[in-house]
Amino acid sequence: MVFGVRKGSNVRPRVTLEDVALRAGVSRATVSRVVNGSQTVKPAIRDSVLRAVKDLGYVANAAARSLVTRSTNSYALVLPEAHTRVFSDDQFFPRLIRGLSEELGAADKQLVLLMSSDAAAHRRIEHYLLGGHVDGVILASAHRGDPLPGTLGGTDLPVISNERVLDNVDFPYVGVDAVGGAAAAVRHLVGTGRRRIATIAGPQDMSAGIDRLIGYRREIARTGGSSIVATGDFTRQSGEVAMRELLADEPDLDAVFVASDLMAHGALRTLQAAGRRVPDDVAVIGFDDVEICQYSDPPLSTIRQDIVEMGRTLVRQILRLSCGEVVEPAVVLPVSLVLRQSA
């Protein structure tokens, strides 16, 4: 209580290795060995050290350790705050975090969250990452044009992404089979007799938007149909608007594959307002399988992707990467069609 407070109110004299060593009557080196689980310490000594540790409530200082080991046991999740999926009720973000957190926790690593909201934030993040705060970086949903990937590319920091490809750099990534999922949706629509199948696509500056459109186009082409596309930004509102456009342009459409459930939810409303029955007049399939699918009217058929698992896999890869291992450039997780009542 008499110690100089420099910054913060960390008053109590910190317990160090030295203190433990003194109490246990051994050297600092020995305490360090015990604390780090070395097998070359005589059991008796080990025990007395452990007792001293417990008595004193010793916990190794992170900074000191990290200074010498050159590793922090922390990993950064960088994501663009602007990302509409992050702050809607899309559940992408919570699910991702849950997966990351689970797997990181199992490895006794920590997650630091970096939101790249604006230019200032971007500078801060870059500085932070380069300052050796973390052992690796998980890049989520970076947009095309985002400068960070480029910067990171020139670094020796391990990076993993969930995007198929960023501007010029390409990091190994872990994604879901969006192309396949979209194609499966269209295939189902075709298989159930739909003939004029439109799509509401997502933003075309990120894989989630691009790939789902690719899958749609591919399958439409395969069946000799022609593409009918409107574009939204993954929000409900944009879904409503896009659906109106579609209806105006192609009044005779009988199905829509929508690149996100939220947009599909919006589309459902437009359809209802326009007096079209779903699925009788027009079938709708979304993408993501968020909770609202079960509560919409009618319940929404969709493509399910396992974001929690994606998070876990992302972690497994970055962990390997930061051990110097080489990992597969791409891991693609499967998706599945879940049928409810809208198609």
Partner DNA sequence: TTGTAAGCGTTATCAT
Partner DNA sequence: ATGATAACGCTTACAA
Site for DNA in 25-54 (CB under 7 A): 25-30, 32-33, 35-36, 40-42, 44-46
Could you say which residues in the range 63-92 bind DNA, by CB under 7 A? 64-65, 67-69
Could you say which residues in the range 161-220 bind a copy of itself, by CB under 8 A? none
Q: List alpha helices for the chain, DSSP H.
A: 17-24, 28-35, 43-56, 62-69, 84-87, 92-106, 119-130, 148-153, 178-191, 207-222, 236-249, 261-273, 307-321
Q: Which stretch binds DNA (CB under 7 A): 9-17, 192-200, 239-247, 304-312?
A: 9-17
Confirm or reject binding of residue 61 to a copy of itself (CB under 8 A).
yes
Q: Closer to a copy of itself at the Cβ: 42 or 70? A: 70
Confirm or reject binding of residue 273 to a copy of itself (CB under 8 A).
no
- How many Cα atoms occupy the beta-carbon half-sphere of 151 within 13 Å? 15
Structural tokens at position 149:
């990937």
Smallest distance, Å, CB 49 to DNA? 9
Q: Closer to a copy of itself at the Cβ: 30 or 72? A: 72
- CA–CA distance, 22 with 14 (Å, rounded to integer): 14
For 46, residues 6+ apart whose C-beta sits below 8 A from its C-beta are: 34
Confirm or reject binding of residue 56 to DNA (CB under 7 A).
no
Q: List alpha helices for 15-83, DSSP H.
A: 17-24, 28-35, 43-56, 62-69
User: H or E stretch including 78?
Assistant: strand 74-79
Smallest distance, Å, CB 128 to a copy of itself? 6
* Residue 30 binds which entry of a copy of itself, DNA, none, CB below 5-8 Å type-dependent: DNA
Q: Three-class SS of residue 33?
A: helix
- CA–CA distance, 316 with 206 (Å, rounded to integer): 23
Could you say which residues in the range 199-258 bind DNA, by CB under 7 A? none
Handedness of CA 110, 103, 149, 287 (dihedral sign): negative
Q: Closer to a copy of itself at the Cβ: 32 or 110? A: 110
* Residue 158 binds which entry of DNA, a copy of itself, none, CB below 5-8 Å type-dependent: a copy of itself
Confirm or reject binding of residue 61 to DNA (CB under 7 A).
yes
Smallest distance, Å, CB 64 to DNA? 3
Vertex 336: Cα angle to 217 and 88 (nearest 5): 80
- CA–CA distance, 67 with 59 (Å, rounded to integer): 16
- CA–CA distance, 1 with 45 (Å, rounded to integer): 32
Q: Which stretch binds a copy of itself (CB under 8 A): 141-149, 196-204, 290-298, 327-335?
A: 290-298
Q: Which stretch binds DNA (CB under 7 A): 22-30, 96-104, 117-125, 308-316?
A: 22-30
Confirm or reject binding of residue 11 to DNA (CB under 7 A).
no
Number of residues engaging DNA in binding (CB under 7 A): 30
Could you say which residues in the range 142-161 bind a copy of itself, by CB under 8 A? 156-158
The contact set with DNA (CB under 7 A) reads 6, 14, 16-18, 25-30, 32-33, 35-36, 40-42, 44-46, 58-61, 64-65, 67-69
